[in-house]
Every structure is written in structure tokens, then in C-alpha cells.
């Protein structure tokens, strides 16, 4: 089958391709671009939320962070409930960010939380007092970055999940969003598992990662370089 049949149309010259869509379409796009350029800086920056029980929430947030760095932007990342003891590593994307920082890229990463993996390989679900203390410490870091940070992108990984699992309160989330609305100098990226009342109205972009099928259900465990 020829390539033009696959695409559903005939081949045209590059000059004709650039004219595709018609005059009204181009005028509409140009108007949108002009109106956006006139917006004040605080109106240009948006909040994002990647949530759900499907794979890919942190992957999407970190991918956006890598893209921003490639575009010459500065990035700050705060991880909730993803502690690091410098010996065990469960989130290998951090190694890349640390290396990029060594190479001079404008990225900083703040990890909070205690070790969740038990020595026998099982996962600790119960929250200890130290887990709550770490979540509170992370909130302080976030507050400082929103008010004083110089980042273009701020990623709060598992921020909503921290509220879902009661490490922080829902009101803490709304207080951070209130603070962001007063300091919209950068793009804000959040991840978590599920929405709660009032959250959807506060976020500009929401993408749900819905599980359709997962190999975990047939006994395949989390794998190095794929899930962590």
C-alpha cells in the first residue's frame, strides 16, 4: 500500500502543505497566539495533575521535567514519601537528575519520607510517626520554593497521594494551591492517586492514568528501570 493511501490523502508540495487549513484557520491560530502573548506572566503559568491507578504518573511528571531542562528551563522537584538513605535506591530517575546537576543543569531534587521496603522484601504500608514528620518537612520545602524559589518548573511528586494516604491533610493541599495562586511565577506539576472534593476546580490541567490492563495482576513484580 502506498504512503499516500495510508495517510488518506494525496501528496502535495511543502508550499501547499503550509497553506492547508485555509485562511480562517490560520487567522484563528494567529489570534490565539497573539492573545496569549499579551497575557501577564502569572496568567501564562498553569497547574497540572497526573492522577489515577494506572502506570505513568511520575513518568509523565519526570518526562516533563527532562523536557523543560532540555529547553533551558530550571526545575525543582519535591518527592513525598520517597525517602533516600544514599545506600538503597528505589527511584532510579534520581540518578539522572543528580548527574545532570553535576553537569551544570539547573535542577534540584528534595526527597522526603522513610524507607518503605522491609528487609524481607515486603512493603511497609503502616505510617509511623517519622513518616508524618517527613511529610511536614516536605511541606515546608514546598512553601519555601513557591515563595522564594527561582525555578521555572516545580514538580510535587506524590503530593496528592500524601493526602490520599493521610500523611498530610487535604487542607494542606489547598493551602499550597492558594500559595501558588499568589506566586504564579512557574509551572506547577502534581501527581497522586485520586481526586478529592474541590480539587478538580483548582487545577488547570488534569490527566487521569487509568489502568486498562497490568502485568502486576499476573504476578509480575516491579522491575528495576521499568517501575523504579
Q: What is the mean pLDDT of residues 23-32?
A: 82
Whole-number percent of the chain with pLDDT over 90: 61
User: What's the confidence (pLDDT) of residue 52?
Assistant: 96
* C-alpha distance from residue 106 to each of 14, 67, 77, 80, 222 (Å): 38, 13, 11, 21, 31
The yes-or-no verdict on residue 219 having pLDDT over 90 is no
User: What's the confidence (pLDDT) of residue 8?
Assistant: 55
User: What's the confidence (pLDDT) of residue 140?
Assistant: 98
Q: What is the mean pLDDT of residues 33-42?
A: 82
The yes-or-no verdict on residue 1 having pLDDT over 60 is no
User: What's the confidence (pLDDT) of residue 70?
Assistant: 97
Count other C-beta atoms under 10 Å from residue 78's C-beta. Answer: 22
Q: What is the mean pLDDT of residues 208-226?
A: 87
Domains in the chain with CATH codes: 44-218 (3.40.50.300)
For the chain, report the end-to-end CA distance as a whole number of angstroms.
Answer: 41
Buried residues in 177-190 as b, exposed as e (16+ CB within 10 A): beebeebbebbbbb
Q: CB within 8 A of 71, min separation 6: which ones? A: none
Q: Looking at beta carbons, which pairs linking 112-116 to residues 24 or more positions away fall under 8 Å?
A: 112/78, 112/79, 112/80, 112/81, 112/82, 112/83, 112/137, 112/138, 112/141, 113/79, 113/80, 113/81, 113/82, 113/83, 113/138, 114/83, 115/83, 115/85, 115/88, 116/81, 116/83, 116/90
Whole-number mean pLDDT of the chain?
Answer: 89
Q: What is the mean pLDDT of residues 79-84?
A: 88
- Partners of 51 in the β-ladder: 192, 208
Whole-number percent of the chain with pLDDT over 70: 94
User: What's the confidence (pLDDT) of residue 112?
Assistant: 93
Model confidence band, residue 86 (pLDDT cutoffs 50, 70, 90) = low
Stretch among 30-39, 86-95, 146-155, 165-174 having the lowest mean pLDDT: 86-95
Q: C-alpha grid cell for residue 140?
A: 515546608
Q: C-alpha grid cell for residue 77?
A: 522537584
- Partners of 208 in the β-ladder: 51
Q: What is the mean pLDDT of residues 13-36?
A: 81
Amino acid at each position: 500500500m502506498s504512503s499516500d493511501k495510508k495517510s488518506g490523502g494525496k501528496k502535495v508540495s511543502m508550499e501547499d502543505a503550509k497553506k492547508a487549513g485555509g485562511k480562517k484557520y490560520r487567522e484563528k491560530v494567529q489570534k490565539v497566539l497573539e492573545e496569549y502573548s499579551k497575557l501577564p506572566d502569572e496568567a501564562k503559568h498553569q497547574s497540572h495533575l497526573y492522577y489515577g491507578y494506572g502506570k505513568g504518573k511520575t513518568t509523565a511528571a519526570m518526562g516533563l521535567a527532562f523536557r523543560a531542562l532540555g529547553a533551558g528551563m530550571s526545575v525543582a522537584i519535591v518527592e513525598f514519601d520517597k525517602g533516600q538513605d544514599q545506600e538503597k535506591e528505589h527511584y532510579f530517575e534520581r540518578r539522572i537528575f543528580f548527574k545532570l546537576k553535576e553537569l551544570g543543569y539547573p535542577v534540584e531534587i528534595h526527597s522526603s519520607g522513610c524507607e518503605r521496603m522491609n528487609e524481607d522484601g515486603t512493603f511497609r504500608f503502616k505510617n509511623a510517626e517519622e513518616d508524618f514528620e517527613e511529610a511536614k518537612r516536605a511541606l515546608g520545602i514546598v512553601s519555601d520554593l513557591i515563595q522564594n524559589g527561582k525555578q521555572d518548573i516545580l514538580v510535587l511528586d506524590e503530593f496528592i497521594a500524601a493526602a490520599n494516604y493521610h500523611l498530610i491533610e487535604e487542607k494542606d493541599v489547598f493551602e499550597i494551591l492558594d500559595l501558588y495562586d499568589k506566586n504564579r511565577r512557574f509551572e506547577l506539576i502534581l501527581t497522586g492517586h485520586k481526586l478529592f472534593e474541590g480539587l478538580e476546580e483548582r487545577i488547570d490541567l488534569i490527566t487521569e492514568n487509568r489502568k486498562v490492563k497490568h502485568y502486576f495482576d499476573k504476578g509480575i513484580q516491579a522491575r528495576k528501570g521499568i517501575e523504579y
